Amino acid sequence: MSRRTVIVSGGRIEEEFALSVLNSEETEFIVGVDKGLDFLYEHDICPNYIVGDFDSAPSDVVNYYKEETNVPIREFNPVKDASDTEIALRLCMDLRRKEIVILGGTGTRIDHIWANVQSLKIALDAGADARLLDSHNQIRLLKDEICLKKEEAFGPYFSVFSLGGTVEGVNISGAKYPLRGHTLMPYDSLCVSNEFEADEVEISFAYGTLILMETRD
């Protein structure tokens, strides 16, 4: 990925890993989201945009960005119809950002993780590539076939699940557990924890949306 946007959300943020992403030359634009703003403040990183209801961000941090910087801020009522991370994703779509990484989108709150996974559909429908990322997981959605190269893979394991309904005609080749013409159901765990068998793994399907999770221990 190149010239990417990084959304720093309020979930678990691993300091060393997050800083490696934020300080990379590939990172061009940063959006601070609510509690994620605290991480940016602690490491003297000024975002390009700030969004949130600020119900979990320290008030002194929020006031600093309001009073001491010219960073654009979109503040929302805590009683709203979308998560802060979804709002940040929609902002990125408005700004026509095409390559997006979300830090702090995973952690201990499984309800928030699942909401964030579903929110990736917003970017997918807009033709953007958005991913949830931490040191052990990379999660994205697929609407077309993909070829994963072992030498470039995020980790040695990958899993696919359906999003929002059945995914028909699923084929997986080059993997330890190949698959052909499978109809993947929303409750189907058949495609969890697969591995590379060849140098390339090809995943294709006829219809639907796949969740692709690339993982490492």
pLDDT at residue 53, as a whole number: 86
Tokens of 179: 């698959």
Domain definitions of the chain by residue range: 4-135, 142-215
Looking at residue 69, what is its pLDDT? 93
pLDDT per residue of the chain (217 residues) written in tens, 0 to 9:
458 999 999 999 999 999 999 999 999 999 999 999 999 999 999 999 999 888 888 899 999 999 999 999 998 877 677 888 999 999 999 999 999 999 999 999 999 999 999 999 999 999 999 999 999 999 999 999 999 999 999 999 999 999 999 999 999 999 999 999 999 999 999 999 999 999 999 999 999 999 999 999 8
Residue 160: per-residue pLDDT? 98
What length is written for the chain?
217
What is the separation of C-alpha 116 from the centre of its chain, rounded to a whole number of angstroms?
7
The whole-number pLDDT of residue 75 equals 87
Domains 4-135 and 142-215 are alike in CATH topology: no
Residue 178 amino acid letter: P
Q: Which CATH number fits domain 142-215: 2.60.120.320, 2.30.42.10, 3.40.1350.10, 2.30.110.10?
A: 2.60.120.320
| Amino acid type, 47 | P
Q: Look at residues 164, 67, 182 and name the one whose alpha carbon lies nearest to residue 119.
A: 164
Q: Which residues pair with 211 in a beta bridge?
A: 141, 161
CATH number attached to the domain at 4-135 = 3.40.50.10240
Residues 6 or more apart whose CB falls under 8 angstroms from that of 63 comprise none
Q: What was the pLDDT predicted at 167?
A: 97
Count each helix (H run) and each strand (E run) in the chain, helices first: 5, 14
- H-type helices in the chain, by residue range? 15-22, 36-42, 59-68, 84-94, 110-125
